[in-house]
Structure 1
């Protein structure tokens, strides 16, 4: 499940997701809580962003200003010479395929928390017997 943190702490947003999840599924839950917004995740690995879009974004420190990262993503896509279509979200799939998650996690702590949680859940599932 995913929801933008909107500058709330990861733990607080994750807790909100957990409380909205049925108890029997909580041990399978992987919460994606981009802080403050998902658009920052797409630019968290500037090298892969450059490979896909043709422009290297400069993220700097996190900002909580509403719409800030939507605008940054649009500007970065424009910087790569692409026409405005969906504001940059059209690059979501190729960016996530190309992204170095370790490098991106060093840039964005909420992305690192998601990747770490996903790895933990997958390892746990791998060690389980198939359900009958």
Structure 2
């Protein structure tokens, strides 16, 4: 069964909401984006995984000024899995206070909860080399 247009729109908005909440310092609202037991995987940045909303908030606060001042998300693609979950990939751009930028890929697993779609697992991958290293010696 194909993912309904209404679900695609809701999931796209869910993924976009993350940046608005974090950039606005509204970490108390992350339950609008993530499940209570979310696994947020920052292993590609050497920070391991955090599990749960409280741990996510604690990790964001611990970074302090090292957090981007702006999170932008684009190029969202979705695929429904056989178990009703949705696999979403998107590109993220982070703008730092000094004006420098970085790019990541978000790999999300999204589930339908009682109060709407929520991300239950997010893996953040840094973009460090063009073409994922293809053609590099």
TM-score (norm 1): 0.29
More relative contact order, 1 or 2 (CA 8 Å, 6+ apart): 1
Answer with 1 or 2: which has the greater Rg.
Answer: 1
The structure with the greater share of residues assigned to strand is 2
TM-score normalised by L of structure 2 = 0.28
Q: Which has the higher helix share?
A: 1
